[in-house]
Structure 1
Amino acid sequence: MQPLPHAPRTVDRSGRSRSRLTSLVGVLLALALSLTACGDSDGEDGPTGSGQTGAAGSFPVSVTHAKGKTVVPSKPKRVVALGYVDVAVARALGAPIVGALKFGGGADGRNFPAVTPPLDEDVAVLDEVKPNVEKIAALRPDLILMTSGQPTYQEVFAKLSAIAPTLGYRTKLAQDDPTETTQLIGELLGEKQTAAELIARSERAIADFVAKYPEAKGRKALFGQALPDNAYLLVTPDAQVNRFFARLGLTVPAEFAALAGDVGPTGSAALSLEELDRLDAADIAFLLFRDAKIKDHALVKALDLTKTGRLASLDMGTAYVVLLPNPANTAYLLSKIEPTVAKLVQ
């Protein structure tokens, strides 16, 4: 994930917010988390919602999304996945993936966390940020999945859809309901029942987690990244991570949630280094430290969050997973946040 130019809002000590030019990572896209905090792409005002032609598992299948309409005439045999959610969900559904993003931050140098089974070396070959349309065309896909692709990929949607039917995001990048996205991908793959089973397993895992940690209900949580000059917190309630946290009973602290309507397309609010103590507005926090020096900053060390072990330092892979929760990574995500959530009981 690479930094994206953006002017987020910064919280100051008088309670006012000010605009300041900086760069974000997106994953998300959303923290277009490198965080990749992402925004909307062309076509945001296009049609939304989905529709299917034909009986379950039959073709053709037609789906309407923010970029237009995608029609898949027959069950796909060569699928290219251009976003983390697309890779994770398609892999979980047994899609015949012939090309996918390569995640250099992965344990094996190519796979995102929670992609099961892992992609082979000759499949994970596409750059995470820089589209190579010719390389994608050479893979001869009959379906391209790009519901969560980086903004740079969204910019070449028209070129990609000329190669093969291409599925874009339904409404807004990194803000679609991941359950609905899984259903759409399942429809286009002819794996509607498999998608329903994946969703059901995810729902059970969430329900079990909520039952195990009732203390999380009503508590405050923050997710973001720390760069050399600022920390960026994803505050919009529509962000997938905050929707997921809400299902666990966790909400964004009020002073940050109040900025949600005025933070721009990435939904991120910025804290200067002098304001890092404001992180203690949360009961737990999950941060990707892009600069190790920030992790060792005096104000970070002085946080109650740090002293109580309720500030989790995320690696890039885990940050992607937290940023873009979906039915394919639910169990993995819960396992990663559980040690921090468990601190709420102590």
Structure 2
Amino acid sequence: MGVARVFRFPVLATVLAASLLLAGCGSSAAPEDASAGADGDGRFPVTVPHAFGETTIPEKPQRVVALGPNDLAVAQAVGAPIVGAMQNVTATGPVLPYLDPLPADVLALDPNTTLSLEQVAAFEPDLILAVSAYQVVDRATYDRLSTIAPTVAFAESLYGASMQDDARQVGRALGEEEKVEELIAAADARLAGIRDELPGLAGKTYLFGQARGEILPMVVGEQNQSTAFMRALGLTVPASFANAPASDDLAPGTVGLSYEEVGRLSEADLLMMTFAGDGDRAAFENNELVRRVRAVQQGTYTPLTLDQAVALQAPNVVATGWLVDQLRPALEKVAGAGS
């Protein structure tokens, strides 16, 4: 499958939300098992396979640097000793909205700049987590990080596995598989609970995309992480969008519409949009063709904040409850529509 293509916007600070629409192949399974040796708790050394080979962690990590948002979320949730991490990529503040605050000297890596190997090294890590690190998608960067400390990357491609298997990849590296399975079970239960509470979601359709200048990229690939997340709630993309070939210059699983084609958005019961830059929301919402879209007229159009868009574009098991709560008003509307 290779490393997923990511299209980026000029401002790196919005790379996950405003670069929206990373490729994803959610059916990819993480490696079956990591070889374990024995230290004090019988788990280490542990060897974790990943896209760039395999990494052996000799002892239970005591100084962890988390380079990706989902790395940080899972590591913090299982109580890992985090000494360095990337700040939130959105403009709402340095801390992901569903996580407990961390000291400023821990959230010291700036997503607006090129990854500083010197800064990473200054944390003196004994483990670097890069399973969801958008700045570590090539072997050269991985190799440089590996000279600092054992580094664990994604299994096959960035956001190329399910959110559950990405969490397991982090859990293996930390020796916290059982705690991660608890996180996964809680996330899966929350999704199942919403299906039970809102049975009207079953059979409904949705579209999730971005207004970016003259193009409207929509995430529609069956195995994108966001598509898998919404499918777990009972919603699917409209049939004419399902697994449509990717548009030129967009990531796999992403289809670009022009404003002249915006009528196709009426195929969705629920429309969720985020916006790449200043003026894009106004341009979208003030467009006469957009105003005629069924979801807009029925009140099931939902503009997303950058934090919401990032969490939906690349969901993780820790953010699931927060994200469901954020989307719930829209989900309730679409579940009740036509029922």
Q: TM-score, normalised by structure 1?
A: 0.84
User: Which residue in the other structure is 2:319 paired with?
Assistant: 329
Once residues 13 and 242 of structure 2 are traced to their aligned partners in structure 1, the CA distance between those partners, rounded to angstroms, is 20
Structure 1 counterpart of 2:310, from 320, 323, 326? 320
The 3-state SS of whatever aligns with 1:328 is: coil
Q: What is the identity, as a one-letter code, of the residue corresponding to 1:119?
A: L
Structure 2 counterpart of 1:273, from 247, 259, 273? 259
Structure 2 counterpart of 1:154, from 130, 137, 141? 137
The 3-state SS of whatever aligns with 1:232 is: strand
Structure 1 counterpart of 2:197, from 207, 212, 229? 212
Shift of 1:39: 4.5
Q: Does structure 2 retain, via aligned residues, the 8 Å contact 1:35–1:323?
A: no
Farther off after superposition, 333-342 or 254-263: 254-263
Once residues 46 and 198 of structure 2 are traced to their aligned partners in structure 1, the CA distance between those partners, rounded to angstroms, is 41
The 1:160/1:80 distance shift into structure 2, 3 A limit, reads: same
Structure 2 counterpart of 1:52, from 34, 42, 52? 34
Once residues 337 and 24 of structure 1 are traced to their aligned partners in structure 2, the CA distance between those partners, rounded to angstroms, is 28
- Uncovered stretches (5+) of structure 1, i.e. residues with no partner: 7-22, 41-46
Shift of 1:261: 6.4
Structure 2 counterpart of 1:33, from 1, 17, 23? 17
Count the aligned residue pairs.
317
Q: Does structure 2 retain, via aligned residues, the 8 Å contact 1:104–1:111?
A: no
The 1:27/1:280 distance shift into structure 2, 3 A limit, reads: farther
Q: What is the identity, as a one-letter code, of the residue corresponding to 1:342?
A: E
Once residues 308 and 294 of structure 1 are traced to their aligned partners in structure 2, the CA distance between those partners, rounded to angstroms, is 17
Structure 2 counterpart of 1:202, from 187, 203, 207? 187
Once residues 79 and 87 of structure 2 are traced to their aligned partners in structure 1, the CA distance between those partners, rounded to angstroms, is 18
Once residues 260 and 210 of structure 1 are traced to their aligned partners in structure 2, the CA distance between those partners, rounded to angstroms, is 30
Q: What is the identity, as a one-letter code, of the residue corresponding to 2:35?
A: T
Query: Once the two structures are aligned, what percentage of the paired residues are identical?
Result: 33
- Uncovered stretches (5+) of structure 2, i.e. residues with no partner: none
Q: Does structure 1 retain, via aligned residues, the 8 Å contact 2:204–2:236?
A: yes
Structure 1 counterpart of 2:57, from 57, 72, 76? 72
Shift of 1:250: 1.0
Once residues 176 and 24 of structure 1 are traced to their aligned partners in structure 2, the CA distance between those partners, rounded to angstroms, is 27
Once residues 257 and 154 of structure 1 are traced to their aligned partners in structure 2, the CA distance between those partners, rounded to angstroms, is 27
Give a deviation string over 1:290-338, Cα, whole Å, max 9, x none: 3122232222222221122211101111101111122101101111111
> Of Structure 1 and Structure 2, which has the larger fraction of its residues in strand?
1
The 3-state SS of whatever aligns with 2:35 is: coil
Once residues 218 and 246 of structure 2 are traced to their aligned partners in structure 1, the CA distance between those partners, rounded to angstroms, is 14
1:105-120 aligned at under 5 Å gives the runs 105=90, 107=92, 109-115=93-99, 117-120=100-103
Shift of 1:179: 1.0
Once residues 168 and 180 of structure 2 are traced to their aligned partners in structure 1, the CA distance between those partners, rounded to angstroms, is 6
1:243-254 aligned at under 5 Å gives the runs 243-254=228-239
1:226-265 aligned at under 5 Å gives the runs 226-260=211-245, 265=251
User: Which residue in the other structure is 1:125 paired with?
Assistant: 108
Shift of 1:230: 1.0
